[in-house]
Structure formats: C-alpha cells, structure tokens
A and B are shown apart, each in its own frame.
Chain A
C-alpha cells in the first residue's frame, strides 16, 4: 500500500479535492477535501486500508469570506490604478473610473471538521477536511466505523458545537456536563 494508491482510491469515492502535500513542509502526506455526504465513504475506505484514527478536530473560519472579498476588492482597485497610471504615463487621458460592481451579500462563513488518519506500517498521513455552514454545522458521525472517534467527536462538539449526526452519546466530555457554550468558536465571549 502506498500513498499514490490511496489517493487514487479516494478520488474514486468522489471527494471534492485531493492533493499530495510536501511532507517535510507540512507534516502530512495527503490533504483531502470532502463534502459532508462523502465523509463516511471516504473514512470507510481508509478503515478498509488499515488506517488508524489520530484525531478529530475543528477550525472556525469566521470572517474568512469578508477577508476574501476585501482581498478581491483591493486587487481590482490596484489593477484599475495601474491602468490609469499607465495611461497617464503614455500621455493619454486616463479612462473614466469603472463603476464598482455591486456585490451581493457575503456568503456564509464555514466551520471545518478535520480528521487525521495515520497508518501503522505505511508512511502516509491523511488529513480529511469537510466544511459546513456555521449556522447549521452538521456532519455524519464516523464513530460507527472507528469507535475511537466517539470521544474525539464529543470533544469537537464541546469546543465547536458541531453536531455529529448519528453519534450515540453526544454529551460534553471535557466541559462541565451542563455546558451550553462552545469556547473555540471565534465569536465566543466568556
């Protein structure tokens, strides 16, 4: 078994994106992006190939869309300015400023669940990511495939409020039993 073969098999499952990363730079070999619906299929494949589960965690991407838009706007503005400067330098009348394109509402920010897998024999560390909208963070549970995911998913639910659909016992693990807050969300205020 090698990483290239795993990559091929994962592509066949219908993942959104898959790339081989430079291990020395990143610390993992395969970076896989899946839609929540494909997650169980992808994880079942890793299970069949003999991977073990390292961890499940989350990342809150609050503010990512606003930052992306700002970046795009800055790029457009810089291009327009460069055009105008070039025209002035050539002794021409600078073209009239283009009206700023009306942009719709910002798309919703995402919560990301990150799954780390590793293999006891082969040198292939696989990271699976799946994104879900912040307002409805739902992803299927993989604790039926890997019982070890049970605790990891409970912990991720504690910290991010991600709802692992199908989890047998989604109650706080590390936080107090009556905790109704999710401290690793970026908009959490104690």
Chain B
C-alpha cells in the first residue's frame, strides 16, 4: 500500500456514477471524489424517482392508498402491503381470520425468496459473472407464476386487504409451491458450488466493505446488512406479528461484516423462507380469507400508530396519524434501504472503486423504495 501514499498536493477529481448506471440498479447517483483509484468521499444523490407517496396518502382514503405500497419496493411488494394493512388493522381494530394470516405469510415468504434470487443474479452480474443471473431468473419465474395465479399480478402486488386477502389459494397453488420448494432445495447446492465456492467471488467479497455493528446502530441499518455484522435483529422474531411466532425458523447471523457475510445471510435466508412456507402449507387451516365485519369506510380512532415488518431488505415501518376521518392525516413510510444506504458514504471511504461497487451490490438497493 505504501506505494500509493500520495502527498496532499496531489489533486483529487470528481467521478460521477449514475444516475444511469447498471450497477446502481435504478436511478441512483453517487458523486465520488477520487484520489486515483481510491475513493476519498462518496455522496449518494437521491430523489430521481421521488413520487411523494406520503403526500399521496393524505389525498386518498385509507383503502385507496393500498396499491401505492406495492410500488415502493417492487421486489418485495407483499411485505410492504403487509406493513400498511397491519398498521391500519391495528388502528381500526380489525381482526384477521387465521387462514388469511397464513396466506399472507406464505405469499410474502415466497416473494422474499424471489427478491433474494433476483438480488443474487444481479449482484453476481455486477461482479462480472453473467450466467448465475439466468439460473436465478429461471427459478424466480416459478415464483412469479405461482404468485400471479393467486394475486393476479407479477410484480406490483396489491393482494392484501384490510381484514384479510383478496383471493384464496387452490390445490394447484399448494402443489406448485411444494414442487417449487423441492426444486429450489435441489438447486441451492448447485448455486453454492458454482458461485459461493468460486475463488473469484471469494476474492471479490471477502474483507471487502466491512461494516461494523456500531456503524449499523448509528445509521439504523436493519435486515441482512445488520445481520451480516453480527447483530441478531429480525422484526419477525423481535416484534412478532402475524403467525410468525408459530413458525420454526432461524435467523442467519454472520459476524464478519464484509460483503461475503451479507451474501451468506441472504443465501441462508432463502432456505429459512422455504422452511416457513413449508410449515405454513402443512398447518394451513380452513376458513374464510376475509373478515366478515370490515366496515366499507374505514375511520380509525384519533391517534398515531406504528407497525414494522421485516422485508427482504430490513425493517419497514409505517407510522400513521389518524384524525378520525376516512383519509390519513399523516403517513410516514420508514423504508429500510434508505437507512442502509445512508452508511455508504462512510463505509466506502478509502476503498477501490470496483470494491465500492461490490459493497453497493451487497446492500441490495431498491431505488423506488429509497426515494418513495
């Protein structure tokens, strides 16, 4: 390294990354101050796809805002559905039938797997490996077909309703989900042999982009980012909601804090999600999928309410303030990647540019969710 020590008189230059750049997976721009190949400072510039969902929430009824939630995190839309319906159900005191809760968990865990698969393919693509993307998309396609059959859409789901879900699943879905679980379990060893144990990948990820537990705390990082830094925090275990307390699953935690740790957390989470889906399918009770007495016009009592859910990228929280009318008075959407990305500037100081891109990929950014 000593060969690269440079005098202060040496000039730095500014490098613009994005907003149109394949590695940023959307319209994120990073202003990099470079000293040769090394990053002196990185400043993410946000807002290119800002749509002001929070203002939209104040201008429509509680139910009319539902489709918006699927358009923030388009990779794990069902979890965003879940966060919003759960907070409104909490505010308005709506009971949800048990079968509906099971369906919510089954579909949103499948959705989590599809999100991780897409991240896996795109991340390896960032690092220069093309073919894993094709394998991952092949698997993901099965989930999209399954979810399409029950929710009616393939990406921007709006499946959950206040008091239940919109559609019941049929025998085909159950058979398809079981077949998919088996298929993916058979293929995971292949992924690990092809990719995880690949020496090039190891060299690109190990010890690259370390994030300490303290840094996670100061920036409010959640999800696989904090679990890759040795923090055992998962909203599904920490503040259990829906039927997660009845499910037997582990929270993968890796201590090392580098990009490899975050990679391993997500790969392990795929198996845990499959376990949850399997158990939920086994225990799936009969019954209605919608509560009977859901008022047509929802008017939650005055006050403010919070609900957090675990999405594929971390803790998504919704704070609603109700003034007792049929529209929200205030709707705050706390998105996980916003906090996860905020530590990027500090984390990549002094790194090589290609390593900084590996770090960015390992944060699993979804830009519409950051910009909202």
Residues of A within 8 A of B (CB): 24-28, 50-55, 57, 59-60, 114, 116, 118, 120, 123, 125, 127, 146-148, 150-151, 159, 172-176, 183-184
CB < 8 Å neighbour of B239 from A25, A60, A123, A159: A123
B125 at the interface (CB under 8 A from A): no
Given A27-B306, A120-B217, A184-B55, is A55 in contact with B90 using a C-beta cutoff of 8 Å? no
Asked if B305 contacts A59 (CB within 8 A), the reply is no
CB < 8 Å neighbour of B303 from A26, A60, A114, A150: A26
Asked if A147 contacts B219 (CB within 8 A), the reply is yes
How many B residues, CB 8 Å from partner? 42
- Give the distance to chain B from A147, nearest Cβ to Cβ, in Å: 5
Q: In the complex, what residue of chain A is closest to B233 when comparing beta carbons?
A: A120
Asked if B47 contacts A173 (CB within 8 A), the reply is yes
Which chain B residues border A57 with CB–CB below 8 Å?
Answer: 319, 332
Which chain B residues border A55 with CB–CB below 8 Å?
Answer: 220, 317, 319, 332, 334, 339
- Give the distance to chain A from B182, nearest Cβ to Cβ, in Å: 35
B46 at the interface (CB under 8 A from A): yes
- Give the distance to chain A from B180, nearest Cβ to Cβ, in Å: 33
Q: In the complex, what residue of chain B is closest to A183 when comparing beta carbons?
A: B55
**5 other A-B residue contacts (CB within 8 Å) besides A24-B90, A120-B232:** A52-B217, A54-B317, A57-B319, A123-B239, A174-B47
Asked if B220 contacts A27 (CB within 8 A), the reply is no
CA–CA, A123 to B304, complex, Å?
19
Asked if A27 contacts B87 (CB within 8 A), the reply is yes
Identify the 10 closest CB pairs spanning chains A and B, nearest first.
A27-B306, A148-B219, A55-B334, A174-B47, A53-B220, A52-B217, A57-B332, A174-B50, A120-B233, A148-B220
Q: Give residues 346-372 of B contacting A (CB, 8 Å).
A: 346, 371-372
Pick 12 A–B contacts, CB within 8 A, sort by A. Answer: A26-B305, A52-B216, A52-B217, A55-B334, A120-B232, A120-B233, A123-B238, A146-B218, A148-B218, A148-B343, A183-B52, A184-B54
Asked if B220 contacts A174 (CB within 8 A), the reply is no
Asked if A175 contacts B47 (CB within 8 A), the reply is yes
Asked if B233 contacts A114 (CB within 8 A), the reply is no
B236 at the interface (CB under 8 A from A): no
Asked if A127 contacts B220 (CB within 8 A), the reply is no
Residues of B within 8 A of A (CB): 46-47, 50, 52, 54-55, 58, 87, 90, 216-221, 226, 231-233, 238-239, 303-308, 315, 317, 319, 321, 329-330, 332, 334, 338-339, 342-343, 346, 371-372
CA–CA, A27 to B334, complex, Å?
14
CA–CA, A120 to B315, complex, Å?
11
CA–CA, A184 to B90, complex, Å?
24
Which chain B residues border A125 with CB–CB below 8 Å?
Answer: 239, 306
CA–CA, A50 to B330, complex, Å?
29
Which chain B residues border A52 with CB–CB below 8 Å?
Answer: 216-218, 220-221
CA–CA, A172 to B45, complex, Å?
10
Asked if A146 contacts B52 (CB within 8 A), the reply is no
Which chain A residues border B305 with CB–CB below 8 Å?
Answer: 25-27
Asked if B231 contacts A114 (CB within 8 A), the reply is no
- Give the distance to chain A from B347, nearest Cβ to Cβ, in Å: 11
Which chain B residues border A24 with CB–CB below 8 Å?
Answer: 90
Asked if A26 contacts B304 (CB within 8 A), the reply is yes
Which chain A residues border B238 with CB–CB below 8 Å?
Answer: 120, 123
Which chain A residues border B90 with CB–CB below 8 Å?
Answer: 24-27
Q: In the complex, what residue of chain A is closest to B342 when comparing beta carbons?
A: A151
Given A59-B321, A172-B47, A183-B55, is A27 in contact with B346 using a C-beta cutoff of 8 Å? no
CA–CA, A26 to B221, complex, Å?
23
Asked if B226 contacts A120 (CB within 8 A), the reply is yes
CA–CA, A72 to B308, complex, Å?
36
Which chain B residues border A116 with CB–CB below 8 Å?
Answer: 306, 317, 319, 334
Which chain B residues border A28 with CB–CB below 8 Å?
Answer: 306
CA–CA, A156 to B115, complex, Å?
29
Q: In the complex, what residue of chain B is closest to A52 when comparing beta carbons?
A: B217
Residue among B47, B55, B58, B226 having the largest count of chain A Cβ atoms under 10 Å = B47
Asked if A114 contacts B319 (CB within 8 A), the reply is yes
Asked if A147 contacts B304 (CB within 8 A), the reply is no
CA–CA, A150 to B220, complex, Å?
11
CA–CA, A173 to B338, complex, Å?
11
Which chain A residues border B233 with CB–CB below 8 Å?
Answer: 120
